[in-house]
Every structure is written in structure tokens, then in C-alpha cells.
Amino acid sequence: TNYQTTRERAQQRITMPALILHGDEDTLVDVKYGRELAEILPHAVLRIFPGAGHNFLVATGGKANQVFIDFIDRVDACQRAAA
């Protein structure tokens, strides 16, 4: 399986909302991959934390947790509205 095939499969199969969190100073996984993933997934939300590395959950002092909670709340609200 090459990269293009994997990308196409992701676009076809992953249809639910996705939250992508990334630190812009991550030296283990370059932030460009978070951006690429956000482009691939049709309902993705990308949040990049300035000054944070791979440990953004700790480095953001709870901001990442709040972003996650807000995302879940929005998805939940949309689900209830659609029902």
C-alpha cells in the first residue's frame, strides 16, 4: 500500500469528525503531518499549540483538554440537532 492509496482509503472510510492536536515545536512528529492529516480527513479540525512540542498535553497546561472538551460538545450538539 502506498501513501496515495492510504490517503484515498482514509478519505473514503473516515467520515466522522476528527480532532487533530499538535504542538508546533514537536521534534518527534513534524507538525506538517498534522496539517496533512487535517487535509485528508473531510471533517477534521486541527488545533496547533504554539510553543508546545510532542508533550503538548502537559505543556499547554490544560488548554488541550479544553479544546478536546469543546470539540466533543460541538460534535454532540450536532448529533442531537440531527436526530
- Residue 66 belongs to what H/E stretch? helix 63-82
Q: Is the pLDDT of residue 72 over 80?
A: yes
Selected residue with higher pLDDT from 73 and 4: 73
- Residue 18 belongs to what H/E stretch? strand 18-23
Joined grid coordinates for residue 49: 499549540
Residue 65 CB contacts under 8 Å (≥ 6 apart), including other chains: 57
Joined grid coordinates for residue 56: 503538548
Joined grid coordinates for residue 77: 450538539
27: pLDDT confidence band, cut at 50, 70 and 90? very high
Q: Is the pLDDT of residue 48 over 90?
A: yes
Joined grid coordinates for residue 64: 488541550
Rounded to an integer, the average pLDDT of 14-39 is 92
Looking at residue 59, its amino acid is A
Q: Is the pLDDT of residue 22 over 70?
A: yes
Rounded to an integer, the average pLDDT of 48-66 is 92
